[in-house]
């Protein structure tokens, strides 16, 4: 009912403004679908193949270092199986019909993975054993089929042949398989769900299986603590334990996954495409994560402004509203990097157009925005195109057959924001090129102050419950590919094309910025992601943390949640608490729905403004720390924000504490998600280390291995520095990241029990690809030694002439733990008459305190 009422309100509003009535169709059809309403799941979930359906394997031999098998069962079905080695402790298993007619996924893997030839160790009647010479071994049991994967003789995972089912009719290519993680304590992964870190036990049938099917909920509130599908899909699971391994299911069709936490197994029910699974043998979680992201690719660095504060709402409607809003940020002294433009900036929701009345001179406006602290505007741009013969983008796409087609061969049509629309077929390389070109300055009047694009509604979404608000699975893409087989990669392809367009627009000089709601494995190469249309409740705040932690384990690192909940009217208390944790997620954006009151930080009473100013300022002060983490992520794929178990895999107490998050390894934040909380219980991980509280008024030190009740009030959320670390910060907050990026730095030295501390810092031009193409950057270790009382700066890997990038230090703060459990800070000024004493630009330099 709620949904219906809201849909009508939205419809009325649209009718009165842009003369199109957008109404959701078939609202009487229950939404979303689930296991009981989808045969893929309801039929296959409880099906264990009987003896006639179990597959037995016949070993055919080794081709190019990979093993081949025929599979057959007594029911007369035949399959073929390929088992190959991939460098760095990985195997790949592909199962398909001998005639190989299934869709093979493209665009998810960054490149063809480097194979490692396998050697066959033994061929017996019951089993074939092969290994890669690097401690990894596979034993293929033949009757019935199953494959055991070993790393250094520890059995890590089993591909369970007794759960293989292949449907193979014209309309039904469902298949199933199962994997057991033998040594696991917890199963993790399966982004995106509004749920805790550890996967739930679902096989008892009381909980639906996890579902991966990119879905927009419109004004329906998505369930929290739930296995239902969301906007993005990354089919990765880690079996976390003493020996951790993982799998990546290289398939973009809808899937349900039943989790058995007793056996530590995952049963996949997949709606089409090829059974293609990578086995990642770790053996640690850290290595498993790297093994995964190495397959689908690491992102490039964002420009530094993307790490600042983003202010969005539906909508800043006019040039005046944009200027007033930015002006008020300055008047009330709130930093801001980006103001976002929702659908109203267009002419009749025709993307790549401006509303001529409300944005009469976009280039002039963008020049003004740039003049206000090099700030940016980011507009929304969706993959559906208004059916309008007076809109050349529509006629061009139609004339070139660049739309997704109905089964009858004509462009598919349905409803979305502009009214009747068609959907761009990004599988078509010509359509991708055409779309990319629309981003050129010559095609869309703008300047580089239009910092990037917001690709929304790209699940893709349409307003019809019949197809569960997306394209019907029998619509057709380029090459006669059914939408069913590529549903989850549609959004990735849009961002790929947008990325190509931005590279071309700025002649390869500036790093593109794209925010996407739909996501698949590999999207991280092009776009970052937010958790979609959340609501203004404390529970939504609570789940924003574990969602960011899981996404960071599967390569979706630049992730955040809309502050303080997109829909609804968050209380002022919730808004404050949400900013206080939101600044510690990689993507930091506030947003508000059409019906939500205006709530930019300067609109609140003074005492609230004071808190928000301090909070947002903390984000800006930690800019060097964030930027270094983002850089390291581009090198390693390591998560930017991390669950405790990632850094402390042996500390079982921390396994399920998903309301605490580590930013890198040195900062711990504990979210507060209960109204009027006066204290929160925080677990301090590690051995022999201390955590220094840096928010609130009490300089308290907490010892590792304990839970402590940390007093809180409205003014702060608890944040701690780890002993043994050096945090690089900016001393001042100004209008934007551009205003402070070149300022001298502060080093916050928090010694460990031996008096030592270390950190790392990364500096470049903050915007270009010179750090990749010409290695123009400074990346250095910072080592504090209490004996010599000095910080040594040692280049890890930098430009040979790194004089272009210097670490200039204004102040060093030395944290001293006192006997009473508090600490003091010694300020060691590094400036004389306002001039920095030390500008460290050599590969090795000691800074004496």
Which spans of this chain sit near ligand NAG (rule: CB under 6 A)?
A: 13, 17-18, 30, 34, 36-37, 58, 60, 70, 78, 98, 154, 200, 207-208, 225, 242-243, 283-284, 315, 317-318, 321, 344, 347-348, 355, 357-358, 389-390, 395, 398-399, 594, 606, 675-676, 754, 756, 774, 776, 783, 785, 799, 801, 804
Q: Are 818 and 824 in contact (CB under 8 A)?
A: yes
Q: Which is nearer to ligand NAG, 521 or 680 (CB)?
A: 680
Choosing from 533, 659, 666, 739, the catalytic residue is: 533
Known catalytic residue at 456: yes
Choosing from 216, 344, 459, 799, the catalytic residue is: 459
Tokens 């709620």 belong to which residue? 2
Query: Closest separation between CB of residue 522 and ligand NAG, Å?
Result: 28
Q: Which is nearer to ligand NAG, 481 or 510 (CB)?
A: 510
Cα–Cα distance measured from residue 839 to residue 818, given in angstroms and rounded to the nearest whole number: 32
Output the DSSP codes for 215-241. Answer: ---TTSPPPSS--S--SEEEEEEEEEE
Q: Are strands 514-516 and 528-530 parallel, antiparallel or unpaired?
A: parallel
Cα–Cα distance measured from residue 792 to residue 785, given in angstroms and rounded to the nearest whole number: 8
Q: Which is nearer to ligand NAG, 358 or 470 (CB)?
A: 358
Q: Which is nearer to ligand NAG, 60 or 123 (CB)?
A: 60
User: Hey, what are 591's tokens?
Assistant: 């947003």
Q: Which is nearer to ligand NAG, 315 or 504 (CB)?
A: 315
Query: Closest separation between CB of residue 53 and ligand NAG, Å?
Result: 17
Query: Closest separation between CB of residue 108 and ligand NAG, Å?
Result: 28
Known catalytic residue at 112: no
Q: Which is nearer to ligand NAG, 281 or 710 (CB)?
A: 281
CA 836 vs CA 246, 608, 628: distances in Å: 49, 35, 22
Q: Which is nearer to ligand NAG, 447 or 756 (CB)?
A: 756
Burial class of residue 206, CB neighbours in 10 A (0-12, 13-18, 19+) = exposed
Cα–Cα distance measured from residue 790 to residue 452, given in angstroms and rounded to the nearest whole number: 42
- Verify cis geometry, omega within 30 degrees of 0, for the bond prior to 192: yes
Half-sphere exposure of residue 105: CA atoms within 13 angstroms, side-chain side:
31
Name the residue among 214, 155, 212, 154 with its Cα closest to residue 180. Answer: 155
Query: Closest separation between CB of residue 34 and ligand NAG, Å?
Result: 4
Cα–Cα distance measured from residue 404 to residue 413, given in angstroms and rounded to the nearest whole number: 9
DSSP letter at 200? P
Cα–Cα distance measured from residue 622 to residue 309, given in angstroms and rounded to the nearest whole number: 12
Query: Closest separation between CB of residue 249 and ligand NAG, Å?
Result: 23
Query: Closest separation between CB of residue 478 and ligand NAG, Å?
Result: 19
Cα–Cα distance measured from residue 57 to residue 135, given in angstroms and rounded to the nearest whole number: 25
Known catalytic residue at 651: no
Instruction: Name the helix (H) or strand (E) containing 721.
Output: strand 719-722
Q: Are 147 and 140 in contact (CB under 8 A)?
A: yes
Q: Which is nearer to ligand NAG, 496 or 547 (CB)?
A: 547
Cα–Cα distance measured from residue 799 to residue 223, given in angstroms and rounded to the nearest whole number: 49
Three-point CA angle 191, 197, 201, nearest 5°: 90
CA 748 vs CA 223, 379, 751, 805: distances in Å: 41, 38, 10, 20
Q: Which is nearer to ligand NAG, 383 or 418 (CB)?
A: 418
Query: Closest separation between CB of residue 187 and ligand NAG, Å?
Result: 14
Query: Closest separation between CB of residue 770 and ligand NAG, Å?
Result: 7
Query: Closest separation between CB of residue 350 and ligand NAG, Å?
Result: 8
Burial 451-474 (b: 16+ CB within 10 A, else e): bbbbbbbbbbbbbbbebbbbbbbe
Cα–Cα distance measured from residue 691 to residue 675, given in angstroms and rounded to the nearest whole number: 25
Cα–Cα distance measured from residue 50 to residue 43, given in angstroms and rounded to the nearest whole number: 15
Name the closest residue to ligand NAG (Cβ): 30
Query: Closest separation between CB of residue 283 and ligand NAG, Å?
Result: 4
Residue 571 has a CB neighbour count (10 Å cut-off) of: 14
Choosing from 456, 562, 659, 666, the catalytic residue is: 456
Q: Which is nearer to ligand NAG, 5 or 114 (CB)?
A: 5
Query: Closest separation between CB of residue 22 and ligand NAG, Å?
Result: 13
705: Cα separation from own chain's centroid: 30
Q: Which is nearer to ligand NAG, 109 or 224 (CB)?
A: 224
Q: Distance between terminal CA atoms of the chain?
A: 66
Q: Which residues are catalytic?
A: 456, 459, 533
């Amino acid at each position: 009912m709620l949904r219906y009422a809201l849909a009508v309100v939205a419809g009325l509003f649209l009718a009165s403004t842009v003369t199109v009535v957008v109404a959701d169709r078939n609202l009487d059809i229950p939404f979303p679908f689930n296991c009981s309403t989808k045969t893929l799941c309801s039929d296959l979930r409880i099906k264990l193949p009987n003896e006639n359906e179990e597959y037995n394997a016949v070993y055919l031999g080794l081709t190019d270092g990979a093993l081949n098998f025929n599979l057959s069962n007594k029911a007369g079905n035949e399959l073929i199986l390929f088992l190959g080695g991939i460098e760095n402790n990985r195997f790949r298993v592909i199962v398909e019909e001998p005639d190989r007619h299934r869709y093979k996924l493209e665009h998810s893997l960054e490149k063809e993975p480097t194979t490692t030839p396998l050697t066959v160790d033994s061929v017996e009647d019951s089993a074939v054993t092969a290994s890669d010479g690097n401690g990894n071994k596979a034993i293929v049991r033949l009757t019935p089929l199953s494959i055991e994967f070993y790393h250094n003789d520890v059995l890590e995972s089993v591909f369970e042949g007794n759960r293989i089912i292949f449907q193979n009719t014209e309309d039904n290519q469902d298949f199933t398989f199962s994997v057991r993680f033998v040594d696991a304590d917890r199963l993790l992964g399966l982004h995106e769900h509004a749920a805790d870190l550890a996967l739930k036990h679902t096989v008892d049938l009381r909980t639906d299986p996890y579902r991966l099917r990119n879905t927009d909920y419109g004004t329906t509130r998505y369930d929290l603590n739930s296995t239902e599908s969301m906007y993005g899909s990354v089919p990765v699971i880690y079996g976390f334990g003493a020996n951790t391994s993982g799998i990546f299911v290289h398939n973009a069709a809808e899937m349900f996954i039943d989790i058995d936490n007793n056996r530590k197994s995952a049963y996949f029910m997949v709606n089409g495409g090829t059974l293609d699974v990578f086995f990642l043998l770790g053996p640690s979680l850290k290595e498993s994560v790297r093994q995964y992201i190495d397959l689908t690719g690491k992102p490039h660095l964002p420009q530094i402004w993307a790490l600042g504060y983003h202010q969005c709402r539906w909508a800043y409607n006019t040039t005046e509203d944009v200027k007033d809003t930015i002006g008020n940020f300055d008047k009330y002294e709130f930093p801001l990097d980006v103001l976002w433009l929702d659908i109203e900036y267009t002419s009749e929701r025709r993307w790549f157009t401006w509303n001529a009345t409300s944005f009469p001179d976009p280039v002039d406006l963008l020049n003004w925005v740039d003049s206000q602290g090099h700030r940016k505007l980011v507009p929304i741009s969706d993959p559906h195109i208004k059916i309008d013969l007076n809109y050349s983008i529509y006629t061009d796409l139609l004339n070139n057959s660049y739309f997704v087609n109905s089964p009858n061969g004509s462009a598919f049509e349905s409803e979305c924001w502009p009214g009747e629309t068609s959907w761009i077929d990004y599988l078509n390389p010509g359509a991708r090129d055409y779309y990319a070109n629309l981003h050129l300055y010559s095609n869309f009047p703008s300047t580089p102050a239009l910092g990037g694009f917001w690709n929304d509604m790209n699940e893709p979404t349409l307003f019809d419950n019949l197809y569960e608000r997306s394209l019907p699975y029998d619509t057709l893409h380029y090459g006669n590919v059914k939408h069913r087989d590529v549903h989850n990669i549609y959004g990735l392809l849009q961002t790929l094309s947008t990325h190509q367009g931005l590279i071309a627009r700025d002649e390869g000089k500036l790093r593109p910025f794209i925010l996407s709601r739909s996501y698949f494995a590999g999207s991280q190469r092009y776009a970052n992601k937010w958790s979609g249309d959340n609501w203004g409740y404390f529970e939504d705040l609570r789940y924003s943390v574990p969602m960011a932690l899981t996404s960071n384990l599967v390569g979706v690192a630049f992730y955040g949640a809309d502050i303080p909940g997109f829909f609804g009217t968050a209380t002022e208390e919730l808004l404050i608490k949400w900013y206080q944790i939101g600044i510690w997620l990689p993507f930091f954006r506030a947003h508000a729905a059409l019906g939500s009151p205006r709530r930019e930080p300067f609109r609140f009473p003074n005492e609230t403004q004071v808190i928000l100013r301090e909070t947002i300022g903390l984000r800006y002060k930690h800019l060097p720390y964030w930027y270094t983490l983002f850089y390291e992520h581009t090198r390693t794929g390591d998560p930017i924000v991390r669950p405790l178990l990632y850094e402390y895999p042996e500390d079982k107490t921390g396994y399920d504490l998903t309301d605490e998050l580590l930013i890198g390894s040195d900062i711990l934040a504990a979210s507060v998600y209960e109204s009027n909380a006066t204290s929160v219980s925080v677990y301090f991980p590690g051995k022999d280390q201390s955590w220094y509280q840096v928010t609130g008024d009490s300089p308290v030190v907490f010892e590792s291995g304990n839970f402590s009740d940390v007093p809180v009030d409205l003014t702060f959320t608890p944040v701690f520095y780890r002993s043994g670390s050096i945090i690089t910060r900016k001393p001042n907050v100004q209008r934007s990241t551009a205003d402070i990026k070149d300022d001298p730095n502060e080093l916050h030295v928090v010694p460990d029990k031996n008096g030592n501390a270390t950190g790392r810092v990364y500096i470049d031009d903050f915007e270009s690809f010179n750090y990749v193409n010409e290695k123009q950057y400074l990346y250095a270790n910072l080592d504090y030694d209490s004996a010599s009382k000095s910080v040594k700066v040692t280049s890890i890997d930098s430009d040979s002439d790194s004089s272009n990038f210097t670490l200039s230090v204004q102040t060093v703060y030395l944290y001293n733990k006192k006997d009473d459990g508090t600490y003091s800070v010694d300020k060691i000024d590094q400036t004389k008459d306002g001039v920095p004493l030390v500008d460290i630009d050599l590969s090795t330099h000691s800074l004496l305190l």
